[in-house]
Amino acid sequence: MEASAPRRRTRIQQEKRDLILEAALEVFSARGFRGATIDQIAEAAGMSKPNLLYYFRSKEDIHETLMQRLLDTWLAPLRELDEIGDPLTELLGYIRRKLEMARDFPRESRLFANEILQGAPRIMPMLEGELKALVDEKAAIIERWMHAGKIARTNPYHLIFSIWATTQHYADFDVQVRAVLGPERSGDGRFEDAARFLEGLFMEGLRPKG
Amino acid sequence: MEASAPRRRTRIQQEKRDLILEAALEVFSARGFRGATIDQIAEAAGMSKPNLLYYFRSKEDIHETLMQRLLDTWLAPLRELDEIGDPLTELLGYIRRKLEMARDFPRESRLFANEILQGAPRIMPMLEGELKALVDEKAAIIERWMHAGKIARTNPYHLIFSIWATTQHYADFDVQVRAVLGPERSGDGRFEDAARFLEGLFMEGLRPKG
DNA sequence: CGAAATTTTGACCGGTTGGACAAACGTTAG
DNA sequence: CTAACGTTTGTCCAACCGGTCAAAATTTCG
């Protein structure tokens, strides 16, 4: 007795689905939704195409599940921004966490970048709902910090955008960063250089005058 | 008597090719190379697919021509960065020009973003050649400004990256910016808000202490 | 006008892709 | 053992896509 969609029961089924999602993350992030093929995902997951389609109804289904499962991870750094803490420390911490995500989860970053570049056809409701609500909440916190004189007065939304942009750049435009830095400066050290630079940029830019 | 590739002769041929490139920019920037179809480009250009293929040998040919033709426009703002001028003014001018390009040429921005996200399979030589050379040259200028005490000491490469990231963000992630700002704050004013914010961010961040 | 050159198109082709399906395979439990 | 259930795969299909081709339509030019 089951509903139309087969419910995940066994641990084996759950593991297979996770395996497929991992493979799909690899392929989708590298080629985009339309550029990826089910065959490529199946091969990356070590199974045949019909077998993959036994666990997911369609390519769209894989993508949707992947997006939903990654969303929490992706927004976690911003969720941690805490009004109680020291404003500059909190913002620098957010920048650091975001940069670490660009370093440790570049595929997730590219997956979202791909989706948004194409006009976000599949996640627009999430952007206008969950994301907007979260940003509104945190922007209000930042604004209270500004009014309290803890950080320089500026536009909190564009501040958040600038943090997204500067950190995700190292994941989304990785090949360009590497090409410009050259082989000798493209080692792991580039993330530490980036962290130092961004700390300096935002620190001085956000420090209240006087 | 002609070479293998038919040379552009008439004004009409040139205009048709321009028309196709304009249509291709629209389609490629919105869907990526693999997501775009020749039929879509042909329709956007108001002609049939075989007719389009009379003017360009292949889809790759269109993309390559488009990239080459856009490259100069895209790098122009950085080329204008002048060692003779006042460092802070020069950098702010560069930021402003880049932001204006994100506002006035968002399709070009997304075209390059799409290409780089996919690993830059078609323009890697340009990144490692022309782009790297230009950035090396300008980074050297910035470094001399730093040593002269005109601007704060920091990593000139990451400074350039941060300018690219923050400005192009408003073109590449436009739908996300609009979704987060909401309908009421997504008017043309958002670019002026962004300009003000970025000027504050970089000004304070780059001003030498003392 | 009329011939030559250029431009446009309908029809077609081979390869790819998302997905369906039934048969085969394996596993588990009575 | 064997029936039932879950899993895997070979095969197939229709739609799509990049590109070809020959013929038709149009323009150019003597």
pLDDT tens string B37-74: 999 999 999 999 999 999 999 999 999 999 999 999 99
How close does chain A come to B151, measured CA to CA in Å? 12
Q: Examine the domain organization and report whether B132 and B200 are in the same domain.
A: yes
Which nucleotides along chain C are within 7 A of a protein C-beta?
Answer: 6-11, 16-22
* Residues with Cβ within 8 Å of residue B56, at least 6 apart in sequence: B17, B20, B62, B65
The single-letter DSSP state of residue A7 is P
In Å, how far is B153's CA from the nearest CA of chain A?
9
- Per the structure, the complete domain to which residue A27 belongs is given by 1-57
Do A117 and B110 count as a contact with CB atoms less than 8 A apart?
yes
Q: Is A133 on the interface with B (CB under 8 A)?
A: no
Contacts of residue B149, Cβ cutoff 8 Å, sequence gap at least 6: B208
Could you say which of B128, B164, B166 has the minimum Cβ distance to residue A162?
B166
How far apart, in whole angstroms, are the C-alpha atoms of residue A206 and residue B16?
51
Q: Tokens 């080329």 — which residue? A: B79
Domain identity same for A33 and A74 = no
User: What tens digit of pLDDT does each residue of B118-162 get?
Assistant: 999 999 999 999 999 999 999 999 999 999 989 999 999 999 999
- Tokens encoding B137: 């040259």
Give chain B's domain count: 2
Residue B63 domain-assigned (yes or no): no
Residue B182: which residues within 8 A CB-CB, separation 6 or more? A132
| Cα dihedral: A59, A174, B126, B115 (round 10) | 20
Q: Are A44 and A26 in contact (CB under 8 A)?
A: yes
* CATH number, domain with residue A6: 1.10.10.60
pLDDT grade for A11, boundaries at 50, 70 and 90: confident
Give CA–CA dist B208/A178, Å, rounded: 29
CB atoms under 10 Å from CB of B46, counted, come to: 10
Structure tokens at A83: 């009004």
Contacts of B194 in chain A (CB under 8 A): 158, 161
Looking at the structure, do residues B171 and B98 belong to the same domain, yes or no? Answer: yes
Q: Compute how many other C-beta atoms are within 10 angstroms of the C-beta atom of residue A152.
A: 17
* Res A9: pLDDT: 61
* Cβ(B95)–Cβ(B198) below 8 Å: yes
Cβ–Cβ of A176/B135 closer than 8 Å? no
| Residue A93 and residue A175 share a domain | yes
CA distance A165 to A172: 10
Which chain A positions have a beta carbon within 8 Å of B131's beta carbon?
A: 176, 179-180
Is there a single domain that holds both residue A31 and residue A94?
Answer: no
Q: How many C-beta atoms lie closer than 10 Å to residue A121's C-beta? A: 10
Same domain, B7 and B77: no
- B114 and B179 share one domain: yes
**Tens of pLDDT, residues A103-158:** 999 999 999 999 999 999 999 999 999 999 999 999 999 999 999 989 999 999 99
DSSP state of B131: I
Cα A209 from chain centroid (whole Å): 33
Residue A142 in contact with residue A70, Cβ under 8 Å?
Answer: no
Nearest-Å Rg of the Cα atoms of chain A is 20
